[in-house]
Amino acid sequence: MEERRDEFAEAGARARRALVREVEADGALTDPAWRAAFTDVPRHLFVPYYYVPGTGGYERLWSGDPDPGRRDQWLRGAYEDMAIATRVRDGELLSSASQPSLMALMLHALDVRDGHDVLEIGAGTGYHAALLCHRLGAEHVTTVDLDEEITESARTHLAAAGYRPAVVAADGARGCPERAPYDRIVATCAVPSVPYPWLAQCRPGALVLTPLSTGLLLLRVRDPAHAEGRFLATSAYFVVLRGAAGRVPRPDPAGDEGFGFLWGLVGGTLDRREALSLWLRERRPERERFGVTVSGDRQWAWLDDPGGPYAWPLPDA
């Protein structure tokens, strides 16, 4: 067993350096502090097993497979720049490890500084929290997940990598008030609207980064009742936050990917023909033209201007 650990450590370090070079070449890893985190944190410790598409469903790859070829396949997959399915139940994907280049983009957008306290919604494997711990110190990181099995697994993985942040089994839509206030909140699961408890647990000026529809929304928090921001340019597909109030709108699979994002925002307000007409009339607007405003007990998505003619209420958070 010790020999196998050594084998994984050496091969993992090589694969990790190759992954960092790949992500860096794509322009998603420009901050030296985050580059060091991706170089040092062993991703394979956080995915001792995962699932890949196979005949008739998912196929499980794991570190303890007696077949050396399949162990090599598992280790290579752990360091590919792709999302990894980590929990599947009755054919349904429950949890996944995000694509490293997307993680790097999100962490860069989060703009953390030394001393910042960060709340992560969606513990997953614990890898994202480990990157935050490497950058900020474990005492500044809290990660939350509704599923106790997921939080216990994340806690184990984090400890194996030498990190001990607060790992809490709770409804992520309610945040984690006992560890508040936070300078940054980042969600690794999709929400239908911005949960109000998140804003209440933020310091003034905090940033909240969350998947919504098929985009990434970056909000600046003014106070517990007000926040506003725009979507990043990139597309993003995440597992839905369990426990969130309301329904996450599904993008229209038959339409253009950009239209799918719009449909995910307004599908509960406009019918498909109205939404498509708007999208064409506005020259197929990119994600960064859209934003969200939270004011008191209301929140709405908008195109170009929070007070402009194109605004759509989001479901109750």
Residue pLDDT, tens place only, 152-201: 999 999 999 999 999 999 999 999 999 999 999 999 999 999 999 999 99
**Domains of the chain, residue spans:** 1-110
In this structure, what token pair is assigned to residue 52? 């890949």
Predicted confidence at residue 57, as pLDDT, reads 79
Q: What is the mean pLDDT of the chain?
A: 91
In this structure, are residues 119 and 175 in contact, taking their beta carbons and an 8 Å threshold?
Answer: yes
In this structure, are residues 144 and 120 in contact, taking their beta carbons and an 8 Å threshold?
Answer: yes
pLDDT band for 1, please (50, 70, 90 cuts): very low
For residue 130, give the H/E element and its range. Answer: helix 127-136
pLDDT band for 239, please (50, 70, 90 cuts): confident
DSSP assigned state of 172 = G
pLDDT band for 255, please (50, 70, 90 cuts): low
How far is the C-alpha of 64 from the C-alpha of 62, rounded, in Å?
Answer: 6
How far is the C-alpha of 284 from the C-alpha of 279, rounded, in Å?
Answer: 5
For the residues 119-143, what does the mean pLDDT come to?
Answer: 97
Predicted confidence at residue 186, as pLDDT, reads 98
Residue pLDDT, tens place only, 28-56: 899 999 999 999 999 999 999 999 987 77
pTM: 0.93
Residue pLDDT, tens place only, 257-283: 889 999 999 888 898 899 999 999 999
In this structure, what token pair is assigned to residue 296? 């008191």
In this structure, are residues 317 and 245 in contact, taking their beta carbons and an 8 Å threshold?
Answer: yes
- Residues with a known catalytic role: 95
